[in-house]
Amino acid sequence: LVFILVSSLVILPTPEASAQTATYISVNLSSWKNKEDHQQGIYNDGAGTVWQGLAKGCGLIKINSSTKTVTTIYDSGIGSGDPGDCYNLISDGNGNIWIPDNQKGRIWKYNIAGNTWTSYCLTPDITGVTKNYNNSGCERYRVDASSNTYGFTIDTYTGVKVGSNIYIAGSYDLQFTSDPSIARVKWGGLYKININDNSVTRISLGSSTIPRGLRLDGTTLWITDLAGKVYGFNTNTDSVSTTFTSLTDPFGIDSDTNYLYVTQYNNPNIYKILKSDGSSSVISTGGSGGTYWVKVFGNNVIWSGREYRIGVHNMQTGTNTVYTTTTQANYFMDIVGTEVWFSGKGSDRTVIN
Q: Is the pLDDT of residue 248 over 80?
A: yes
Output the DSSP codes for 15-81: ESSTT---EEEE---TT-S-TT-BEEEEEE-SSSEEEEEETTTTEEEEEETTTTEEEEEEE----TT
**Residue 58 burial (CB < 10 Å; 0-12/13-18/19+)?**
buried
pLDDT of residue 102: 75
Q: Is the pLDDT of residue 132 over 70?
A: no
Residues in the chain: 353
Maximum mean pLDDT: which of 7-16, 54-63, 201-210, 327-336 = 201-210
The type of residue at 224 is T
Q: Across residues 138-161, what is the average pLDDT?
A: 64
pLDDT of residue 55: 74
pLDDT of residue 100: 86
Q: Across residues 48-55, what is the average pLDDT?
A: 85
Quick: pLDDT tens for 222-232: 999 999 999 99
Quick: pLDDT tens for 276-329: 999 999 998 888 888 999 999 888 899 988 777 888 899 999 999 888 776 666
Q: Is the pLDDT of residue 351 over 50?
A: no
CA distance 220 to 342: 26
Give the residue with greater pLDDT, 112 vs 352.
112
Q: Is the pLDDT of residue 127 over 60?
A: no
**Which of 167-176, 236-245, 266-275 is predicted least confidently?**
167-176
pLDDT of residue 126: 57
Quick: pLDDT tens for 97-126: 998 887 677 888 999 999 999 888 876 665
Maximum mean pLDDT: which of 35-39, 54-58, 139-143, 244-248 = 244-248
Cα 101 to Cα 25, 82, 107, 211, 338: the distances in Å are: 26, 11, 5, 15, 30
pLDDT of residue 197: 92
The type of residue at 82 is D
Q: Across residues 16-31, what is the average pLDDT?
A: 53
Quick: pLDDT tens for 80-94: 555 567 778 999 999
pLDDT of residue 166: 96
- Residue 69 — very low, low, confident or very high, per pLDDT cuts 50/70/90? confident
Q: pTM of this prediction?
A: 0.86
**Which of 41-45, 112-116, 154-158 is predicted least confidently?**
154-158
CA distance 63 to 73: 9
Q: Across residues 46-61, what is the average pLDDT?
A: 84
What is the chain's mean pLDDT, rounded?
A: 78
Q: Across residues 63-69, what is the average pLDDT?
A: 86
Tally of CB atoms within 10 A around 173: 17
Residue 297 CA, chain-centre distance (Å), reads: 19
Give the residue with greater pLDDT, 350 vs 326.
326
pLDDT of residue 3: 58
pLDDT of residue 97: 94
